[in-house]
Amino acid sequence: MSTTEIRSNGTPKVGVYVCHCGINISSKVEISKTVEFAKTLPYVTIVRDYKFMCSDPGQELIQQDIGEGKVNRVVVASCSPLMHEPTFRNVMAKGGENPFFFQMANIREHVSWVTRNKEEGTKKAKSLIAAAVCRVALHQPLERKRVSIHPDVLIVGSGIAGIHAALTLADSGKKVYLVEREPTIGGHMAKFDKTFPTLDCAACILTPKMSAVLAHPNIILWTYSEVIGVDGFVGNFKVKVKRKPRYVNEELCVGCSECIEACVYKKARVEDEFNVGLSKRKPIYIPFPQATPLVAVIDEASCLELKRRKCKKSCVDVCEPNAIDFDQTEEIKEIDVGAIILATGFKTFDARRIFRYGYGKYNNIYTSLEVERMVNAAGPTSGEVILKSGQAPKMVAIIHCVGSRDNNTNRYCSRVCCMYSLKIAHLIKERTGAEIYNFYIDMRTPGKGYEEFYDKLLKEDVHFIRGRVAEITDWAMTPEEEGKLIIRAEDTLVGAVRRIPVDMVVLSVGLEPQADTEEVRRLFNISCSDDGWFLERHPKLAPVSTFTDGVFLAGACQGPKDIPDSVAQAGAAAAEAMALIDRGYVELDPNTAYVQEDFCSGCKTCVNICPFNAISFDGDKNVAVVNGALCKGCGTCVAACPSGSLQQNLFTDEQILNEIKGVVSYV
Amino acid sequence: MSNDEAIKAQFEPKIVAFFCNWCTYTAADLAGTARMVYAPNVRVVRIMCSGRLDPQFVLAALREGADGVLIGGCHPGDCHYQEGNYKALRRFTLLKSLLKSMGIEQERVRLEWIAASEGDKVQRVINEMTETVRQLGPLRLEPTIYNLIEDSLLKIPETATLAKGDEL
Amino acid sequence: MSYLYYPGCSAKSTGKAYEESLLAVFSALQIPTIEIEDWNCCGATAYMSISELKAFALCARNFALAERQSKGTTMIDLIVPCAACYLGLKKALLYLREYPEIRTKVDESLHSAGLKYTGHIRIRHPLDILVNDVGLKKIASLVTHPLDGFRVACYYGCQVIRPYADFDDQHEPSTMDKIVESLGAEVIDWPIKTRCCGGSLTGTVQEYGLRLSYNLLKEAKKRGCNVIATSCSLCQFNLECYQRQMKRRFKDKVNVPVAFFTQLMGMAFGIPSRQLGLHRLLVPLQQPSKTKADVGGHHVYN
């Protein structure tokens, strides 16, 4: 043990509490042996073991021992500190002791769950307990700094999740910045015709919410904008937002569309993104009739005036409110917020990646999103389901799981495709009376009213073939097959390979993370899981928070899900953000760096090393100074300090060196 | 089997691992949750960032009796604190040449980037490293080198009063 | 690159035209085609179905002979034009690498013949070599008689492409198409270019074999092709030699020339037709007249 004088609460009296965690730990660690061993460690006054240390009686044990003066420092040998460190620190506080006189030994995730036999497990557990005891004896009392929280919230993305979160927060009195990349809010839901299982009209249920967003006094809506920089920490984020120029003044435009009529391009030539490429638009456009805000936008890449400054600008001539402004430039806005909610949604799987389905090669093969636009009365075909030739199809195939549940593309199930495939089957049948074949692997209809929806489809005479489609070609073997698309699939329930000639194919594409997910996650300093979706803090118990305090997730950006789940998550994220803000303060972790001025030589090595600019130099005293509020506690400066005058609270050199000694030399 | 080989076969190496909180420690937890079994020879010391790793910790571990040291950090570009792992890499490179001049085999000290979702990598790296160090045998430091390490360790003066410079 | 040539049995008999044209074309491209001395039959699909282990040994003998013949070189590329040989040899190579139990047994049998295989073999199909080693630019540069008016349906068959092909896509292969295009011909896109021709079925259960081959001919013709290019001697045999039986059975004149893609290459390079084995074709292939065939491809050449 170090001979440095032990400070603060007198001679260390370390209590060691070994948890059985049911049989999770006790099956691979001999508890009695570890207890006996712990008794031999220096400064240890009490050793106890209990079935579940984190339970109330378990916590009581510690509290009582502290209260009776038997221990003033505690080691709990149980699960991972990432699991219960806060729990036990609270127990210390309740018992009347500083919560940082505490250390955990991870003998579950790092020992009992990963070790073959009990002998090896016990030995490893002992070494980790020894390490914790040696370390905790040198702990110092620390105070958590309280920092105030800015009450405003930033929500990135305004599909149904972003919209719902924004309305919830705004209704509670919070000021919300709602930033959306597209010129209108609404996300994917605005493109749908009907939603399952109720067959509610998507626009009818969405547009009231969209109007509410626009009208709400607490929501600042910035469409056609992107977040480009995020600084700060929970409760105190500084965000830079780039507002792209629409070249149309949002305040003045009334959405009359005269400018679009008048545009010098008489024929629309640009691919309409809203209609997923099924129709064309002009360089000046409004994405769809209920776009919010209902303001025109001019596309830089295709507008003649913006590209070459050579247009006669008939749009300007017809604009009564004089809203068109070709001199607009991009604006960078800087805002302060306390919490951020990411609701950036998903993109659909690119069906061209599966060659054998012929998407892009043959006519009349559509993705589900394209069909959504087709059946939409406000869509490119005014709600009619028609082939390229203009006729209605007589036979339609709907193929489930395109891109999902596939080792070659995405392994996961996209969750919504079975339901929307049923919906599309229903809508197409309704409009055209065609024969419909759904090719599926499994029918996944778990939600409320979903299985009943499936029953309904079964009664509507839709054919269901359980088999993954092998290929779609135009190879006709008989005269009846001429001019049709031939589906080849194994009908596994019948036990035969079938050839089914159809007029039209709908590929039910899966959901994927947005293309710029990597950049976005770095911007907000969060992680992604293996399949690319934003990573939640805990898959079961913390699905809307991330490992970065103050940043929350809502909707499909966290994983594929349907509208009810997106709305629920949005509400949850709003509630957690609200809880954070209403508490009024944030307690910063105290593991910040500090300078022992007597030993600082003023070499300034640390000043430039800090990525958060938390270290400055005091020219008068010739020493470095750490700003505890900016310091995030990484310790990089501490390792760099040549004199050792920089130390990190809770991770001093002394403490770590003793931990090392404990972990190696006792067992 | 020769005596030496027999000793090597019986030998259970002691390896100290320094895992950063955000990536590697989380990944090790994940390996635990997924019940991935691996060699029990690695004992983890948790630090917030691989950038905190002072090379003297590695030397102290070896001096105290460890036969190998494993350092785990986030993948380049993914450090929770932006750049700590790059600093760790630089220090590690210098440390390697120091170890070489001390006659300590290079394979005894290893730096790995492990992401929070890579529980399987934790398992693989620990198994690999245990085997490697087992083959190298126990670390035997010459007395002079032992003293060298002792001297190079930072000594904190015993009567230090700690001034905590927290200014808001 | 160190090449050795493994012809396979059919190259010396029914597939003679394949070898003749391949050798002529490779010679023009200056790729050496030295045969492996004393090479033996690979066993093709037949033997592999009877005894895998013995088939592997047969294949490995060829590897060992190749290694012995080119001592001093590191990796040896075997040029294997026949699809069945390609499949069998590649499979043997893979299994010998991945399964030590098989490797030990095969090593033993090689040892008893005084041979040794050390793993320095790669199996390459001419399509692979032409596209990846030679390059389309070089091939195009040697074209003196561009194949104007030729509308070619490239037929790959199954064995070259599945399951071990590493040089082309298994669902939508394009190497042969690219080569034929660089010869100045028009390439027809059709969805069944990797559908089985029936293989040995034309000999065993003829009605099924005929049906499979006929499907291919019919579709290719329907899409307007005036010649089918193949890369396998059995495919060429099945598609070409039974057209009379097909006429009887399916009441369809068919009459589609089926050539080896190497023959087309030779024609484009201006190599005399005798050297390319063009006289061996049952449905003769000639330069089509300058007027393009009408859509539907019912224009037939004789």
State pLDDT tens for residues C116-156.
999 999 999 999 999 999 999 999 999 999 999 999 999 99
Contact B38 A598 (CB under 8 A): no
Quote the DSSP letter at residue A15.
E
φ, ψ (nearest 5 deg) of residue C140: -60, -35
Considering the domain architecture, whether residues C151 and C207 belong to the same structural domain is answered as yes
Considering the domain architecture, whether residues C143 and C284 belong to the same structural domain is answered as yes
Considering the domain architecture, whether residues C139 and C101 belong to the same structural domain is answered as no
A177 three-class SS: strand
C161 three-class SS: coil
Considering the domain architecture, whether residues C83 and C138 belong to the same structural domain is answered as no
Environment class of A191 (CB within 10 Å of its CB; exposed 0-12, middle 13-18, buried 19+):
buried
Residue of B22, B43, B113, B121 to mutate, testing the A interface (most A Cβ within 10 Å of its Cβ): B43
Q: Do chains A and C touch by CB distance (3+ pairs < 8 Å)?
A: yes
**What is the spatial distance between Cα A616 and Cα A627, in angstroms, rounded to a whole number?**
8
Instruction: Look at residue C302 and tell me if it is in a domain.
Output: no
CATH number of the CATH domain containing C218: 3.40.50.11810
Written as one letter, the residue type at B159 is: T
* Number of structural domains found in chain C: 2
Average pLDDT over residues A255-276: 93
Residues A667, B5, B6, B9: what is their CA dihedral angle, to the nearest 10 degrees? Answer: 50
Tokens of A223: 């469409």
* Smallest CA–CA distance from A476 into chain C, residue: C219
**pLDDT (0 to 100) of residue A630:** 80
- Binned at pLDDT 50, 70 and 90, residue B4 comes out as low
Radius of gyration of chain B (CA): 17
**pLDDT (0 to 100) of residue A639:** 94
**pLDDT (0 to 100) of residue B161:** 40
- Domain carrying residue C72: 3-126
- Binned at pLDDT 50, 70 and 90, residue A586 comes out as confident
Instruction: Look at residue C138 and tell me if it is in a domain.
Output: yes
Considering the domain architecture, whether residues C78 and C220 belong to the same structural domain is answered as no
Average pLDDT over all residues of chain A: 94
Average pLDDT over residues A454-477: 94
- Binned at pLDDT 50, 70 and 90, residue C45 comes out as confident
More confident residue, C114 or C74: C114
Instruction: Look at residue C240 and tell me if it is in a domain.
Output: yes
Average pLDDT over residues C242-257: 92
Domains within chain B, CATH numbers bracketed: 14-138 (3.40.50.960)
Instruction: Look at residue C300 and tell me if it is in a domain.
Output: no
**What is the spatial distance between Cα A424 and Cα A457, in angstroms, rounded to a whole number?**
10
Instruction: Look at residue C152 and tell me if it is in a domain.
Output: yes
Considering the domain architecture, whether residues C120 and C153 belong to the same structural domain is answered as no
Is 80 exceeded by the pLDDT of residue A339?
A: yes
A16 three-class SS: strand
Nearest to B69 by CA among B85, B52, B80, B53: B53
Average pLDDT over residues B74-80: 87
**Could you give the percent of chain A with pLDDT greater than 90?**
89
Q: Is A377 on the interface with C (CB under 8 A)?
A: no
Considering the domain architecture, whether residues C83 and C220 belong to the same structural domain is answered as no
**pLDDT (0 to 100) of residue C172:** 87
Name which of A191-205, A626-640, C76-90 the model is least confident about.
Answer: A626-640
Q: Is C70 on the interface with A (CB under 8 A)?
A: no
Considering the domain architecture, whether residues C82 and C139 belong to the same structural domain is answered as no
Is the separation of the CB atoms in A533 and A512 below 8 Å?
Answer: no
Considering the domain architecture, whether residues C112 and C84 belong to the same structural domain is answered as yes
Instruction: Look at residue C120 and tell me if it is in a domain.
Output: yes
Considering the domain architecture, whether residues C154 and C118 belong to the same structural domain is answered as no
Instruction: Look at residue C107 and tell me if it is in a domain.
Output: yes
**What is the spatial distance between Cα C190 and Cα A476, in angstroms, rounded to a whole number?**
11
ipTM of the complex: 0.86
Instruction: Look at residue C69 and tell me if it is in a domain.
Output: yes
Considering the domain architecture, whether residues C93 and C146 belong to the same structural domain is answered as no
**What is the spatial distance between Cα B99 and Cα B71, in angstroms, rounded to a whole number?**
15
Beta bridge partners of A624: A617
- Binned at pLDDT 50, 70 and 90, residue B153 comes out as low
More confident residue, B156 or A211: A211
Environment class of B161 (CB within 10 Å of its CB; exposed 0-12, middle 13-18, buried 19+):
exposed
Q: Is C171 on the interface with A (CB under 8 A)?
A: yes
**pLDDT (0 to 100) of residue B78:** 83
Last-in-domain residue among C126, C145, C167: C126
Q: Is B153 on the interface with A (CB under 8 A)?
A: yes
Last-in-domain residue among C92, C126, C160: C126
**Could you give the percent of chain A with pLDDT greater than 70?**
99
Q: Which chains touch C (3 or more CB pairs under 8 A)?
A: A
Residues of chain A with Cβ-Cβ distance to C215 below 8 Å are 477
CA distances (Å), A660 to each of A19, A255, B15, B56, in order?
23, 69, 11, 11
Considering the domain architecture, whether residues C68 and C11 belong to the same structural domain is answered as yes
**pLDDT (0 to 100) of residue A83:** 86
Is 60 exceeded by the pLDDT of residue C101?
A: yes
Nearest to C183 by CA among C220, C231, C137: C137
Contact A471 C191 (CB under 8 A): yes
**What's the whole-model pTM score?**
0.82
CATH number of the CATH domain containing C41: 1.20.1050.140
Nearest to C60 by CA among C101, C13, C113: C113
Last-in-domain residue among C80, C101, C126: C126
- The helix or strand, by DSSP H or E, that contains position A176, with its residue range, turns out to be strand A176-179
